[in-house]
Structure 1
Amino acid sequence: MGEFDLIKRYFKRPARHAALGVGDDCALLQPSVGCQLAISSDMLVQGRHFFADVDPFKLGHKALAVNLSDLAACGAKPLAFTLALSLPEVNESWLAAFSAGLLALADAHQCELIGGDTTGGPLNICITVFGEVPVVQGQSQALLRNGAKAGDDLYVSGTVGDARLALDVLLGKLMVPDAVLTTARTRLETPTPRVALGLALRGVASSAIDVSDGLLGDLAHILELSHTGATVWADETIQLIAAYAYSTRARGQFHLDFSATQWRTLALAGGDDYELLFTAPPQQRDAVAAAALRSQTPVHRIGQMDATPGLRVLDAQGHLLPDNFASFDHFA
């Protein structure tokens, strides 16, 4: 099967929202009147971002999900995406499953594939996603990293730490019962992009970022650009790990006997969660709750922004914890 046959069979679809989609030298995309384009790219590399034996349907889902998560963190509505795909071989069953997972999530968010490239080489997936954000009276409604203020509440959506738990189990660093791994592995391989929450937080949140490399590491980007500090309640945050319930009491015939440091590391430095970490003024608490309800996404207050620079992580007794929760860095 040649390159163009491959594209036609697995990835070409009629353009629905784009002015011109797959099949020409360039796609043509027309954002709505009064909107800015939001653009982001992410690359997934075998051995770095996913295991060689991962389910290709789930890999297709995740490849787009991590990009949609960036749009969510910006409060942008998804429009379209391009796909650059390097393949070691043409495996038709793999391509069928991968494209099915990719396009199922694309359809769920009305985000169409409009172009890209394929080539031979090590398995490498690069997606560029396009979204739109309204401009109201000359002001962009995009959620950015630089808007946090001292006194703002700090929130995170959903659950954190389970993806890292699954990764550590698969790497042989931890052992958990199969039922726990199944739940955690779902979070690792098929994350949920919080697009609906991002849209609902426009005009409510003062800053936002998605949690990809680790909660504290990603929070540091907000601190840097907003010129603020933050206090994070570590032991509130570890309760957001779906598997944490097994550490507090036996469930059936097993429980998870991890140390407090292990749990905190999972929650605060885990990464691959693709939840939204955001700030909002205290007077917006009702609006945050309404946004969570409207988007059907749980959110939790896990700290506050401070005027004093730097990051402080406290335990349940209010004691300062050591600063040893290093997040993922590709080049560290």
Structure 2
Amino acid sequence: MKEFEFIAIARDLFKSRKKEVVYGAGDDDCAVIKLNDRYLVLSSDMLHEQSDFPKIMTPFEIGWMSVAVNFSDLAGSGVKPEYFIFDICLREGIEDSFEEILKGVKALCDRYDAEVVGGDVDFGDELFIVGFALGFSDRVVVQSGAKAGDRVYITGLTGKSQLALEYYLKGYDREEIPFVSSLVMPEPKVKEGLMLTHTANSMTDISDSLAVSLHNIASRSNVCIEIEAMDLSELLEFVDYDKALELFLYGGGDFELVFTSDSEPEVGIEIGRVREGKGVHILDDIKRTVEFRGYSHF
């Protein structure tokens, strides 16, 4: 997963210098800046046609997705999105889709009462959309707060988006693809993130995979995480157990939240414990190491 190698290079190069920067480049899902008694939380994500927009996606869904990936990062920090900016690079042949893309952007922003406040339009060889979202909070939940004794929770089953993508790549028609909405129009867990702001000790959204998210929490909190597979019956309608477990651990694009807490949360399904040590393990028939892998942009 070369993406994380590049993130490490950026983190080392752009080490935070200003005292108000609490979390800077590469430190967490979002940048966090202290402003008086509140935190300004910022996130940016880039999507492009070749890797992120299957041909079954409508222009409206493309616009929705460009917002969802950014709002999901804020949700993973327990922050409500307030403002959104986007840059779009259009290619020849899709100029007529521009308004529908904007309608998708507006629909998801309206859902969470976030304001679109600007951006830029350009033209090139491929459709690119870069989104930038920000919000404010009096407490930000980060990946480095997990403690031994915490329980591990997830807001919903992962693997659905990856399963839908695999059906799409096999040539199935849209109406034949299971969980197709998870692939083309995912719902960022903003409400759930806000509910967990004062309950979760650590939290992150699940975009690359559950495994990657768990490893990020474990390494940044200097703890060991042990999980058990949750109810996989929704996936087992389409694949066998080993494939369902693979999708659950390593599938990307679901935008669920995974978090740890030492108290009973309002939302979430318990899937494991935080212990002293290092790494991520799953207790199935035997204790196995969970690899650091998931969706890769390269």
Question: Which interval holds the TM-score relative to the shorter structure?
Answer: 0.7 to 0.9
- Residue number in structure 1 paired with 2:24: none
Alpha-carbon distance in 1 for matches of 2:289, 2:140: 35
In the alignment, what sits opposite 1:250? none
- What is residue 270 of structure 1 aligned with on the other side? 251
Letter in 1 for 2:214: L
Unaligned segments of structure 2, at least 5 residues: 1-33
Structure ranking higher in strand proportion: 2
Q: How does 1:1-332 map to 2 (within 5 A)?
A: 34-89=37-92, 91=94, 93-121=96-124, 122-134=126-138, 141-172=139-170, 178=175, 181=177, 183-234=178-229, 236=230, 238-239=232-233, 242-244=234-236, 246=237, 256=238, 258-281=239-262, 284-285=263-264, 288=265, 291-292=266-267, 299-315=268-284, 317=285, 319-321=286-288, 323=290, 326-331=293-298
Larger radius of gyration between Structure 1 and Structure 2: 1
Identity %: 31
Q: Tell me the TM-score normalised to structure 1 length.
A: 0.74
Amino acid at match of 1:132: F
* Residue identity opposite 2:191 in structure 1: A
Judge conservation of contact 2:226–2:273 (CA < 8 Å) in 1.
Answer: yes
Does the 8 Å contact 2:174/2:180 carry over to 1? Answer: no
The alpha-carbon distance between structure 1 residues 90 and 117, as it changes in their structure 2 partners (threshold 3 A), is farther
Q: CA deviation at 1:270?
A: 0.3
**1:306/1:191 CA distance change after superposition, 3 Å:** same
Paired positions, count: 264
How many Å apart are 1:260 and its aligned residue? 2.0
Provide the rounded CA distance (Å) in 2 between the counterparts of 1:74 and 1:209.
6
Distance in 1 (CA, whole Å) between partners of 2:77 and 2:224 is 21
Q: Is the 8 A contact 1:265 1:325 kept in 2?
A: no
CA-to-partner distance for each residue in 1:79-99, whole Å, 9 max, x for gaps? 101110000137454112211
Instruction: Give runs of ≥4 in structure 1 deviating > 6 Å.
Output: none
CA RMSD between the two structures: 2.3
Structure 1 partner of 2:3: none
For 2:217 and 2:85, how far apart are their aligned partners in 1? 28
Spell out, residue by residue over 1:89-118, the C-alpha distance to the aligned partner (whole angstroms, 9 max, x if none).
374541122111110111111111111111
**Aligned in 2, Cα 1:40/1:102: closer, same or farther, shift over 3 Å?**
same
